Each structure stands twice: as C-alpha cells, then as structure tokens.
Chain A
Amino acid sequence: MRYLSQFMIALAVLVFVGQASAQVNPTERAVTEESMFEALGTDTNAVAGRVSIPDSSAGNLIKPENKSWASFQVGTLQTLSVVAVVGMVGLLTLFYMVRGRIQVDSGMSGLKILRFGAIDRFAHWTLASTFIILALTGLNLIIGTSVILPLLGENAFGALTSLGKIAHNYLAWPFMVALALIFVLWLIDNIPDKVDVEWLKQGGGIFKKGVHPPAKKFNAGQKVIFWAVILGGAGLSFTGVMLLFPGVAGAAADWQLYQTIHALIAAGLSAIIIAHIYIGSVGMEGAFDAMGSGEVDVNWAKEHHGLWVEQEKAKSAKDSALSTPAE
C-alpha cells in the first residue's frame, strides 16, 4: 500500500513536470475552422465540441452537410414529385386518347356476381380516403409554396398547411390499420403464380381490344398494385412513425434520412395510385362496381377474371349441392 502511494506521487510529479514543459503557445496548434473541416474530410459529421447545455446535440457547432439536405428538398425532391404526379396524369391522358375507355366486349349481361364484401370495401375505402388526404397534405409541404401560396396568401396558406399537418399526423393511424387489414384480407389472393406470367406476356390485354388473358381473383397488374401499396405503405408507415417520434428515431441526420425516404416513396406510390384510380373509374367500364356496390357484371368478371368466375361458380355449385337436403 505504501509503495503504491509513493508510486502515485512520483507519477503525479512526472505528469506535472511534463505539462509545465509543454506550455501552450496560442500561436501554435490552435484549432481553426479550416483545420476542423479538414479533419472532418468526407465525414458528414459536424464540427462539434462540448456545451454546458444538457442537450448534447447543441454541441454540434457547424454542420455544412445540412445544406445538401436543404438543396435536395427544394431541387431534386420537388422535381421528382412533380414529375411523378404530373407525368402519370399525362401518360394516362395519352393512354385514354389512344385506347379510350376499355369496354366490356360482350356487353353487360345484367347478372351480378359478388366480388368484394362489406369488410373488403370498408378496408379499401378507409385506405383510399386516408391515402388521398395524406398524399395531398404531403404534396402540399413540397410544392405548396410555389403552387397554392400565391393563390391564398401567407396567412390562409399557413392556416391550411397547419391543419394539413394535423390531418397528416392523425390520419396516418387509420391508414396503417387499413393497410394491415388489406394485407390480411387479400394476401392469399395476391401471391404470384404461373397465371400471372401469361397475363403479363399478353400485356394484360390492356393495350389491345378483345384480348383477355385469364386471371384469378387478382390479375398480375392488381398484384403489382397490391405489393406496391403494401411495401410502399409499410415503408411510409415506418418512416412516418419515426418522424412522429423524433426522440425514438435519433438525431437530425436520421430525421433527414427518414424524411427523404418518406417523400420519395410517397411520390412513387402516388403515381401508382393515380394509375389505379384511373383504371378503376373512367379507364374501364364496369370496374368501379367492384368497389362501389361490391357486385360486378358477370360478363365483366368473365373477361377480366375468368378463372375466378369459374372458381366462384364451382364453389356455389358445391354449396348448393351440400345445402340440398338428401332425399
């Protein structure tokens, strides 16, 4: 024990002598902004130090990298969002002018077949209505200042965007519930199989009149929409929840990343959904009934989902056979 304390004293003396001999000359080795930036190199971290504020992130002194996020926001992201939405609307307009409304070739039969029950339609419309509001309020954050602000003025636009933000934050939750519901309800019918290959080979019959490749309950195009919505929706949900709980997500760099991913997925999914809305309404005769009343015309069903109609018929035949009392 005594040896140890002697050793400690000796060590302390050594350290003291060492410090005294290394007197700091302020003209030398002083930290400069230039040297700090050089030391950072390609690292995206900030020039940082110690602060007496409890929030340690206040120790970041200068973080030039934040400016690249800012320029991406007002540059690439704005452009991409506009291109995605306007581009898809343009493409569809062109398609409509060339192909026109896709008709039921054999004409309406007047007979109906149930395609989507109440739960399916409830899930679909919850997802659809929340998505549309989320997409519009989200798009407003990106292009609102250049499109809507000049029309409304700063006060009204600020109030509107503030409401939009609240709507965006809270409608995200029914969106996520509906997304989960859709996933559970329709997963089984959306697993890709051989039929889809043939459907895709024929271009789904979209581009040619009278061509109707066979399809089950969902054709390959609808499966693409399904998986785009599920995967895109999951990505939006995850990044969105992270942005709603910034403390959980991490620090500024993480928020930037989540926001960027969120906006990019949103732009892509919006384009896909615009196409989906088109083909489910003006683009195809008889398609809207599937989600409207839930019952579609049998001839429409035969043309677009031939295999599904056969399945349904076989099922009902079996049911009626079972329900027929044995004599």
Chain B
Amino acid sequence: MARMKFLCDADRCIECNACVTACKNEHEVPWGINRRRVVTLNDGLPGERSVSMACMHCTDAPCASVCPVDCFYTTDDAVVLHNKDTCIGCGYCSYACPFGAPQYPQTANFGTRGKMDKCTYCSGGPEPDMSQAEYVKYGSNRLAEGKLPLCAEMCSTKALLAGDGDIIADIYRERVVTRGYGSGAWGWRTAYGETVAV
C-alpha cells in the first residue's frame, strides 16, 4: 500500500485558493470550516511564498494520541481519519495538531464545539465507501473511486501534490534540481520526522 502524503511546492503556489474552493465544494464543507487553507509567508516582501496546508496525515499523529475517546484510525494508505459518531468535541486534537487541521462547526462556550471535522484526504470515514451516510459526515470518497484528493488534482500550477510519499518526493526533488531552488517540503519534518533531501 501507498503511504499517502501532501506536498506543497511553495515556489509554484500562486495563492489562487482553488484548492480551498475545490475542497469546500467537493465535500460541501459548511461555513466556517476550512479543511484546507493557503497561508502566505513574508507577505509583500522579497521571497514571499504561499503554502497550501491541510491535515498532513502525520506518522504517529499527535491528534490520535491525545484523543480521549480514541476516535482516530489510520487507513492502509496511512491516511488519518476519525469517527464522528465517537467524537465528543473536546477540542484536544486541535490543541495537539501542529498544522491547525481540526475544525469545529461552532466556536461556542461550554464545550459545545460539535463534532470535529478535518481533511479526510478525500477518503471519507468509517461508514461504507461512497455511502450517503459517509458523504453527509465526511464528504466524498475519491480514493475509493481510484482518484486522488481534488485539491491537488485541481491545482493550476501543480504546486500541490498528493499521492504516495516517495513518488511525490521524487517529483519535487526533480523540480528542485531542474530549476535550481526549492523552499522545502513544508511540514514534512514536523509531520513525518523527515524532509525531502535534494
């Protein structure tokens, strides 16, 4: 099985936010929830770069380790998913996540955040693949259809890569060698304890 990862080539990202829009539309993500976002670093300065960020589907995911009801699970493709039926909306995963991935439908007091929502790597949840119940809770399951996450598929500059970690690392490495520069595989060290060496 593949070890699925995201890699955002910040030297290509033009902050068009198409990945964000694609994600929102594909999964009918409600208002206020951003499974993916684009962050612009050094905005307006020389060397400005934009990075598209969502759940990185970490190795030894910190969210899963702190979850008091153990609602997280890792698929055979190394995608970190969670069970919304078990989730109690305590917010601990959002405290633990280095990437700000966990989202909540409410920002209310008294712990009424609602069930946590995050990027599923377009691979749904514990319900049967491509079922209506799965769609309502987690959005579409493109992986079950043999497709990659829509954010990466839609990316106009092919900045955002999704797929097996080794393959997308090779693609990125080749790019860096060809053009002579690269700002790095953002988040890889934090998520996987390794980065793409060029």
Contacts and interface: CB of A to CB of B under 8 A. Distances in A.
Contacts of A158: 69, 71, 83, 85-88
Contacts of B42: 31, 49
Contact of B95 (A69, A144, A149): A69
Interface in B178-198: 180-187, 189-190, 195
Nearest to B56: A62
Interface stretch (A51-59, A200-208, A291-299): A51-59
Instruction: Name which of B42, B68, B71, B97 has the most chain A CB atoms within 10 A of its CB.
Output: B68
B89 to A, nearest CB: 8
Looking at chain A's contact residues, the main secondary structure is helix
A63 interface: yes
A131 interface: no
Interface string A23-62: 0101111111110100000000001111111010111111
Interface in A256-284: 256, 259
A55 to B, nearest CB: 8
B53 to A, nearest CB: 6
Interface in A55-86: 55, 57-67, 69-71, 73-74
Given A30-B11, A158-B85, A244 B110 contact: yes
A28 B89 CA distance: 45
B68 A141 contact: yes
B190 A32 contact: no
Contact of B98 (A67, A142, A165, A246): A67
Interface residues of B, number: 58
Contacts of A52: 17, 38
A63 B98 contact: yes
Contacts of A29: 46-47
Q: Interface size bucket, A side? A: 35 or more
B183 A255 contact: no
Nearest to B62: A70
Nearest to A145: B70
Contact of A26 (B11, B67, B99, B110): B11
A53 B85 CA distance: 28
A30 B181 CA distance: 9
B107 interface: yes
B94 interface: yes
Contacts of B47: 24, 28-31
Contact of B91 (A26, A69, A246): A246
Nearest to A159: B86
B85 to A, nearest CB: 7
6 contacts: A27-B181, A32-B182, A51-B40, A61-B100, A145-B67, A155-B86
Interface of A: 22, 24, 26-34, 36, 47-53, 55, 57-67, 69-71, 73-74, 140-142, 144-145, 149, 154-155, 157-158, 161-162, 165, 169-170, 243-247, 252, 255-256, 259
Interface of B: 10-11, 17, 34, 37-43, 46-51, 53, 62-63, 65-71, 83, 85-92, 94-100, 107, 109-111, 180-187, 189-190, 195
